[in-house]
Amino acid sequence: MPHRIIGDFLRFTLAYNPGAAFSMSLGPYSRYIFGAFAVVALVVLWRLYRLSGPAQRAGDRVRILALGLAWGGAAGNLIDRIRSPLGVVDFIDIGVSGWRFWTFNIADSAVTVGAIVLAWSLSREEREEREAREAVAHGSPSAVTERDASPGAPGPDP
């Protein structure tokens, strides 16, 4: 039975999802297959975090936040999947009138927001690096960044 939070727009409705996002199912082994995918995702996200190093720029902090959101959401759903044979508990039910979005949970939101922010952060970093390489190729003296200015780094002679 749905519990109205903000009229009919936002309701809390208990649902168990034995599959993955949007109730994808791989039959009776969905729990184990998606659990294994979650473990692999957690390892990959952890490695990306460890490779990030200390946050020296604002973009680094955004990337680390995105990795944390995605990792936390994936871990939360994995714990739910292990805890209950019924599947992951979903409860956020959004929609208008007869149109309802898929029921989801906070962990799903964290994974989604983390993935979007991570993709945005990585594309921004790649664009900045490409622009810096192009500026160096065109001989722009302002192309030296803080990373390039470290002792022993190649760069223009003073």
CA distance 82 to 72: 15
Could you say which DSSP state residue 104 is in? B
Helices 58-83 and 106-137 pack at an angle, to 10 degrees, of: 150
Query: What amino acid is encoded at 98 in this protein?
Result: G
Q: Would you please indicate which residues are annotated as catalytic (active-site) residues?
A: 90, 108
Residue 15 half-sphere exposure, CB side, CA atoms within 13 Å?
Answer: 20
Closest CA to 15 of 101, 92, 70, 85: 92
Residue identified by tokens 């044979």 is 85
